[in-house]
Amino acid sequence: MSVNLLPLTPPTQTPPRVLTIAGSDSGGGAGIQADMRTFALLGVHSLVAVTAVTIQNSLGVKGFHEIPTDVIAGQIEAVATDIGIQAAKTGMLASSAIIESVAGTWRDLGLAGNTPFVVDPVCASMHGDPLLHPSALQTLRTELFPLASLVTPNLDEVRLIVGIDVVDSASQREAAKALHALGPQWALVKGGHLRGCGQSPDLLYDGTDFYEFDAPRIDTGHDHGAGDTLGAATACALAHGYSMPDAVAFGKTWVTECLRAAYPLGAGHGPVSALWRLQA
Ligand code: PXL
């Protein structure tokens, strides 16, 4: 498949800057490490606000340490006020206090409404290990979703956030409407976990129109970091000024290629691979 990639910045010129506000994965498959890999291979400069450090390998998440909220807010402020950001995305936020701090900082810096903000509402690892305290779901709905340009839940996250079991295209539309009603400009319901079809249908909604994005399901056993990678590539396209439907279409194409190139790692699940970009 040929992929139209994002425009590259010539050497010595400053590329677009995208901020990831997310957790570290010691196994290097998901979280900050996945985001930075996609940013780099799309020619974007990575800025990072670490929210938590997970203890993790290919078999799962053994535990995590939350970064103090003033340190998280400080990282965001430091880079936004000096370096400047063309887009941001959130991943693992761990707790209600961290979500409040990120939302408050985003508002206080005057970024809300004028800088693309992709919220990937990460709740658990692919092994089911919790990455967000259940008590934080309400803060996610009321504090962060209204600031988001785009929210990108998978079907498990949809169930937790709006209580809808997506089983077909009608319930996927219902879920998109319920998510949009929480305040983001756009809601993307990722259909990658929809069983029984050979496709991976994602549905985007802005309160008026629905946009469908389809791609073949890549049944690799190694899809760690797929959601992060989709959000990261979409944020990069938004940083380049793409419209939301074009940015999501780009993100979907990018993650599909990364899924095709996924590789085994350790004794468990391997990651999707943005490194395909470096291969001949
Ligand atoms: O893929 C979601 C995710 C995000 N961030 C971190 C993770 C995971 C999944 O394991 O560990 C840090």
Q: Can you list the domains of the chain with their CATH numbers?
A: 17-279 (3.40.1190.20)
Cα 122 to averaged position of ligand 1 atoms, centre (Å): 7
The pLDDT score that the predictor gives to residue 279 is: 79
- pLDDT tens for each residue of 105-164: 999 999 999 999 999 999 999 999 999 999 999 999 999 999 999 999 999 999 999 999
Q: What percent of the chain has a predicted confidence (pLDDT) above 70? A: 98
**What is the Cα–Cα distance from 161 to 123, expressed in whole angstroms?**
10
- pLDDT tens for each residue of 21-62: 999 999 999 999 999 999 999 999 999 999 999 999 999 999
**Is residue 195 predicted with pLDDT exceeding 80?**
no
**Nearest C-alpha to atom 4 of ligand 1 is from which residue?**
31
The pLDDT score that the predictor gives to residue 193 is: 72
What is the β-pairing status of strands 17-25 and 117-119? unpaired
Cα 108 to averaged position of ligand 1 atoms, centre (Å): 27
Give the mean model confidence (pLDDT) for residues 223-227.
97
Cα 169 to averaged position of ligand 1 atoms, centre (Å): 27
Of 67-71, 100-104, 192-196, the range with the lowest mean pLDDT is 192-196
Which ranges of the chain does DSSP label H, i.e. alpha helix?
A: 31-41, 69-82, 96-108, 137-139, 155-162, 169-180, 226-239, 244-260
**Nearest C-alpha to atom 11 of ligand 1 is from which residue?**
25
**What is the Cα–Cα distance from 221 to 263, expressed in whole angstroms?**
9
Angle of CA points 236, 242, 243, to nearest 5°? 125
Give the mean model confidence (pLDDT) for residues 224-251.
98
**What is the Cα–Cα distance from 133 to 95, expressed in whole angstroms?**
5
Closest CA to 72 of 106, 98, 36: 98
**Nearest C-alpha to atom 6 of ligand 1 is from which residue?**
31
Query: Could you count the other beta carbons within 10 Å of the beta carbon of residue 265?
Result: 17
Most confidently modeled range among 65-69, 197-201, 213-217? 65-69
Q: What is the pTM of this model?
A: 0.98
What is the β-pairing status of strands 60-66 and 45-57? antiparallel
**What is the Cα–Cα distance from 167 to 170, expressed in whole angstroms?**
8
Cα 92 to averaged position of ligand 1 atoms, centre (Å): 6
Which residue(s) pair with 271 in the sheet? 224
Cα 131 to averaged position of ligand 1 atoms, centre (Å): 7
The pLDDT score that the predictor gives to residue 57 is: 97
What residues flank ligand 1, with Cβ below 6 Å?
A: 22-23, 25, 30-31, 54, 56, 61, 91-92, 122, 125, 131, 225, 227-228
